Amino acid sequence: MKASIVILFVLFLSVSEIFGQNYYVTLHGGYAFGAAPSQLLTITSTQSNSGNSTYTSNAMNYSLGEGFHLSGGFGYNINSNISAELELEYSNGSSQDYGYNSNYPNGYSNSNYNIYGTTYLVIPSIIISTNISEFKPYLKIGPAIGIANIKITEVDNNGSPNSLTITERQTFLNGGLAFGYNAAIGVAYDVAKNIGITFEINDRSLSYAPTQGELQKYTINSVDQLPQTQTYFKKFVYKESITSNSNTTLDMNSPSQQIKINYPFSSVTLSAGIKYSF
């Protein structure tokens, strides 16, 4: 057994010398800030005893690409200045809150929403680097493609403090592919013969339009409502266009059709990583 391990280690070193450290692997982690955002609205209306109403609207910019990113890559040095790399990335976005709130003299009606998204991306890139000093600047560019999902939680509070109805729904959206491009500038520094560290600023334009959705949780005052909920109200198919007329009969045993929506996942990421050449 020990002899086999020694032989494998010697072969590994031999291959490294033959290929002249043309191959490498990377591991990166960082935080992404939302970019090219869309807007969510929080609307509050208040009605006084005299019947007068006031309305307040607050717009919030959001991108589901904001949050922590973790990636690993495999690359090949075509020459001393150009490399080809394939990167796999996981991102768990930060959640965003918005809602619609109505207050009356004897009660209220509040709908509060929380939305967040997750992506799993494949990013092939071309990297152009320089060797002007120990710190090696580089440019990385390529497409980004992968799968994503979105979870939306809705909590409705209706009534008064003495008679309150709490309804909670949780919807999961998935299906289809996320498309975009990825561009980064960074600097690499070799800390040992085969090991380097990198610091990178990454600009990504990415959007995602789910093709299907499902109501995964539906309770009223903590009592599960899903078993008796018809398919039409708990499963959804998202399409580019929908045509219907007054003679259309709804099939309550089939998913409902809704318009497809693009959700923003663009971001600017600050990350650091390690690179091992072999």
Percent of residues, the chain, with pLDDT higher than 70: 86
Report the distance separating Cα 82 and Cα 80, nearest Å: 6
Q: What is the predicted pLDDT for the residue at 11? A: 40
Please tell me the least confidently modeled range out of 158-162, 197-201, 219-223, 268-272: 158-162
Q: What is the predicted pLDDT for the residue at 8? A: 38
Q: What is the predicted pLDDT for the residue at 129? A: 94
Q: What is the predicted pLDDT for the residue at 179? A: 94
Sketch out the chain's domains with CATH numbers. Answer: 20-48+55-277 (2.40.160.20)
pTM of the model: 0.83
Q: What is the pLDDT of residues 40-93, one digit of tens each?
A: 656 566 655 665 666 576 777 888 999 999 999 999 999 989 999 999 999 988
More confident residue, 32 or 103: 32
Report the distance separating Cα 69 and Cα 208, nearest Å: 17
Question: Measured between alpha carbons, how far is residue 172 from residues 94, 159, 212, 222 in Å?
Answer: 16, 28, 9, 19
Q: What is the predicted pLDDT for the residue at 162? A: 80
Helix, strand, coil: what percent of the chain each, to 5?
10, 65, 25
